[in-house]
Amino acid sequence: MDLHPTEDQRMLQDAARRYLAERHPPAAARAAAVRPRQARTEQWREIAGQGWPALLAPASHDGLGLGMREAWIVAEAAGRHLLSLPLAANMAVLPTLCEAGAGRPAAQWAAAMMAGDTYFADAALRPDGSAFVEGAGEGVRALALRRTGAATLRLELHAPVAGEAGLDPTMPVAQVRSPAVLESADLEVAPGTWEQLRTRLLLLRCAELLGAASAALDAAAAYARERRQFDRAIGANQAIKHRLADDWMALDDARLAGVAAVAAHDAAAPSAQRDSLFAPVLAVEAGRRAAQNAVQVHGALGVTWECDAHLYLKRVLRLAACLQAEAPRSDLLERIWEGGDGERAA
């Protein structure tokens, strides 16, 4: 399996980073919770014009028909630039919406999303009936999915709720005790669709987390080269440069695990499900450490509002919490171990 990016994938990465650097600067991330609805809608329209939400949608439904490898590249760039729109969740769910068939509400939602007319906040349903909404805001409806059978899903469109700055001020969120359902739809899907959808979202969140952690590491390395004490850069001290090197290696290991997982997913390899378990384990551990160390390298400056290091840390911590809520580390390790036993027994 070739894990090296193709020329087209390198061009996609360059284009994504360039666009986000120009159109979503740190100032936009800082003001995410109070950003006007018109500005958010206009940015989504621009993103849809780039084709990013439709990367995984089949070409037969006007999507780009590309793979998770391309979606990973865009999600990582979104994390690196602290994009305050729920792009990863919309990319992950769009192929499932396209399966609804022409004329169905879900298909209409998919068409509106790809056209840039709207995007959906991601509503994670809890056992008590409440929901945690990522990307909440004025006029932004939330989309929730639940499995109702081996080959059936229910989609619920929730009423907009005001977003606020939670742990991560760069992504407005909301907690809703009793979501108001505007519309719902039941879908008959192929067996395994639910697992595939959750795997897509898990891997794209890993990519976003690694993007934010890598940006934090880059900022720390730049600061270590510039900040001088005792007439030399602090990065010359082993206590700092070795820590930054260790963080780079850990992030690279996690990124390689994620790229291998999305490549296996695209190839429909028998090991795809098991491969997807390694990425969140490594990404959460490496991402947290790199972002926390970035704050430490900046010293007292790292905990000030003016320094971006704490923003990367908060994005990493929120995504890590989302990943662990979906699949705790202990469960992932147990599933990896059981998969290994199965392979040895075979």
Write the pLDDT tens digit of every residue in 159-198. 999 988 888 999 999 999 999 999 998 888 888 889 999 9
pLDDT for residue 103: 62
Res 26 pLDDT > 60: yes
More confident residue, 100 or 315: 315
Asked whether the beta carbons of 263 and 6 are under 8 A apart, the reply is no
pLDDT for residue 342: 39
pLDDT tens figures, 199-257: 999 999 999 999 999 999 999 999 999 998 888 999 889 999 999 999 999 999 999 99
pLDDT for residue 341: 43
Res 344 pLDDT > 70: no
More confident residue, 345 or 278: 278
- As a whole number of angstroms, the distance between CA 137 and CA 80 comes to 22
Average pLDDT for the chain: 91
Among the ranges given (247-251, 298-302, 342-346), the one the predictor scored with the smallest mean pLDDT: 342-346
- As a whole number of angstroms, the distance between CA 204 and CA 120 comes to 16
* Average pLDDT, integer, range 293-301: 94
pLDDT tens figures, 94-134: 999 987 766 688 888 999 999 999 999 999 999 898 999 99
pLDDT for residue 256: 96
Res 311 pLDDT > 70: yes
